[in-house]
């Protein structure tokens, strides 16, 4: 088992990464405050992992709430189901919420933990690759509103993150690939050596070789933890984690959420960002090629859908959080392993990149 710490002063917490951690009673117990637990999960994950999780925590008073699966249920009504269940089962401030599932469950359960009785403890047990490398670390919690994704939420850090790599064995290939987009992102924005390691370990990663997967998850969590520790509330460097996301959100929104997975949209968005960088003379062509090749190697899309023109992007990109003071801010790679925020990318350049 590998362990690392998200260093946030008195809100610091450990991330544990390994095989069969879901059945590690002492590890899970060490993360739980009090004797009562509410497991929040969904109807896809529950049949796979809920019993195992409950067995591991036999000594606790455990309730669970099984939500309908899917991003379309990440909303205030589903959020209310969690709160109602906590109230109906008479949970108080000494209860710990366990989020057992992907990013949708983690974000909703975390937000419920932030709000229930003004804040109770919670533990993340992320079961998708995306949630293991990204959403479970960093304390952003939220639900969607019909007028915008993740528009209602809180910064609220968990007590612990427990990553069991066995969960990846049941994950659909398309979801695994989507998670790889965020993995590749860390290499591009922050870590040249990690990017090179990914290039050299494509087959091991795809076949879920445990040593490779644990190394990969640890590196991603370490980068995210480092960035979050430097800038918890996204006033600066944390924004670099949005590489590919401004373009990506436009693709997701235009195609209708759920048709393109987030990671797929981010993959195409990273290619657009790299090409924008190249047009601006910020990055070598070789580096753009390596980015494209690695994204392709993990079976991710390299371009936006053909029906998406500049106007579609422009419409959605203005609504994005990355717009500050009316200027479009884009994260662009400046080499493999470095990136920066630019707020002066002209319409002409964007149009050129999107329509070529």
Token pair in block for residue 235: 């006033």
Verify whether residue 245 is a known catalytic residue.
yes
Question: At closest approach, how far in Å is the CB of 16 from ligand NAD?
Answer: 17
Which residues make beta-bridge pairs with 297? none
For ligand NAD, give the closer residue by CB, 138 or 333: 138
Query: 136 with 4: CB under 8 angstroms?
Result: no
For ligand NAD, give the closer residue by CB, 124 or 212: 124
CA angle 186, 188, 189 (to 5 degrees): 70
Q: Which of 58, 118, 169, 235 is catalytic?
A: 118
Verify whether residue 185 is a known catalytic residue.
no
Q: 341: exposed, middle or buried (C-beta count within 10 Å: 0-12, 13-18, 19+)?
A: middle
Question: At closest approach, how far in Å is the CB of 153 from ligand NAD?
Answer: 8
Measured CA to CA, the distance from residue 221 to residue 3 in angstroms comes to 10
The secondary structure of residue 173, as a DSSP letter, is H
Measured CA to CA, the distance from residue 141 to residue 134 in angstroms comes to 12
Task: Name the one residue in this structure whose structure tokens are 């659909």.
Answer: 172
Verify whether residue 290 is a known catalytic residue.
no
Question: At closest approach, how far in Å is the CB of 234 from ligand NAD?
Answer: 10
Verify whether residue 347 is a known catalytic residue.
no
For ligand NAD, give the closer residue by CB, 261 or 291: 261
Of the candidates 270, 102, 220, 107, the one whose C-alpha atom is nearest the C-alpha of residue 172 is: 102
For ligand NAD, give the closer residue by CB, 269 or 354: 269
What are the backbone dihedrals phi and psi of residue 38, each rounded to the nearest 5 degrees, phi first? -120, 115
For residue 86, the surrounding DSSP H or E stretch is helix 76-88
Verify whether residue 219 is a known catalytic residue.
no
Q: Which of 232, 234, 252, 275 is catalytic?
A: 234
Question: At closest approach, how far in Å is the CB of 19 from ligand NAD?
Answer: 14
Question: At closest approach, how far in Å is the CB of 124 from ligand NAD?
Answer: 10
Burial 259-280 (b: 16+ CB within 10 A, else e): ebbbbbbbbbbbbbbbbbbbbb
CA angle 37, 40, 44 (to 5 degrees): 140
For ligand NAD, give the closer residue by CB, 71 or 352: 71
Measured CA to CA, the distance from residue 205 to residue 240 in angstroms comes to 25
Question: At closest approach, how far in Å is the CB of 42 from ligand NAD?
Answer: 5
CA torsion through residues 143, 146, 149, 154, sign: negative
Q: Which of 149, 218, 249, 312 is catalytic?
A: 249
For ligand NAD, give the closer residue by CB, 143 or 350: 143
Q: Which of 74, 219, 238, 312 is catalytic?
A: 238
Q: Which of 36, 73, 91, 140 is catalytic?
A: 140
Verify whether residue 140 is a known catalytic residue.
yes
Verify whether residue 93 is a known catalytic residue.
no
Verify whether residue 316 is a known catalytic residue.
no
Q: Which of 149, 185, 218, 262 is catalytic?
A: 262
Residues that bind ligand NAD (CB under 6 A): 42, 44-45, 48, 69, 71, 74, 101-105, 107, 127-128, 130-131, 134-135, 138, 140, 150, 167, 170-171, 175, 262
Token pair in block for residue 169: 């064995």
Helix (H, G, I), strand (E, B) or coil at 174: helix
Catalytic site positions: 118, 140, 182, 224, 234, 238, 242, 245, 249, 262
């Amino acid at each position: 088992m590998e362990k690392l710490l998200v260093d946030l002063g008195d809100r610091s917490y450990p991330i544990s990464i390994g095989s069969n951690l879901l059945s590690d009673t002492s590890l899970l117990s060490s993360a739980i405050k009090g004797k009562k637990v509410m497991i929040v999960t969904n109807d896809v994950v529950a049949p796979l992992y809920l019993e195992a999780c409950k067995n591991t925590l036999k000594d606790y008073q455990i309730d669970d709430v099984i939500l309908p699966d899917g991003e379309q249920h990440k909303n205030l009504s589903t959020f209310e189901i969690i709160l109602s269940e906590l109230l109906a089962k008479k949970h108080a401030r000494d209860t710990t919420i366990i989020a057992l599932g992907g990013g949708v469950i983690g974000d909703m359960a975390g937000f419920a933990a932030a709000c229930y009785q003004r804040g109770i403890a919670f533990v993340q047990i992320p079961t998708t690759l995306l949630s293991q490398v990204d959403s479970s670390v960093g304390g952003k919690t939220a639900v969607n509103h019909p007028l915008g994704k993740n528009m209602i939420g809180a910064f609220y850090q968990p007590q612990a993150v427990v990553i069991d790599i066995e969960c990846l064995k049941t994950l659909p290939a398309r979801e695994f690939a989507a998670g790889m987009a965020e993995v590749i992102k860390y290499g591009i924005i922050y870590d040249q050596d990690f990017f090179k390691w990914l290039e050299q370990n494509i087959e091991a990663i795809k076949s879920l070789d445990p040593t490779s997967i644990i190394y990969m998850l640890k590196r991603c969590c370490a980068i995210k933890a480092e960035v979050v520790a430097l800038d918890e509330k996204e006033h600066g460097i944390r924004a670099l984690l949005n590489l590919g996301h401004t373009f990506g959100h436009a693709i997701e929104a235009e195609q209708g959420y759920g048709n393109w997975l987030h990671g797929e949209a981010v993959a195409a968005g990273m290619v657009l960002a790299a090409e924008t960088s190249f047009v601006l003379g910020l990055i070598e062509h070789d580096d753009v090629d390596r980015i494209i090749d690695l994204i392709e190697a993990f079976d991710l899309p390299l371009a936006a859908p053909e029906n998406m023109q500049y106007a579609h992007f422009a419409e959605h990109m203005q609504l994005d959080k990355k717009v500050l003071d009316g200027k479009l801010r884009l994260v662009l790679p400046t080499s493999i392993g470095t990136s920066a925020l630019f707020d002066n990318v002209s319409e002409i350049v964007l149009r050129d990149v999107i329509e070529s």
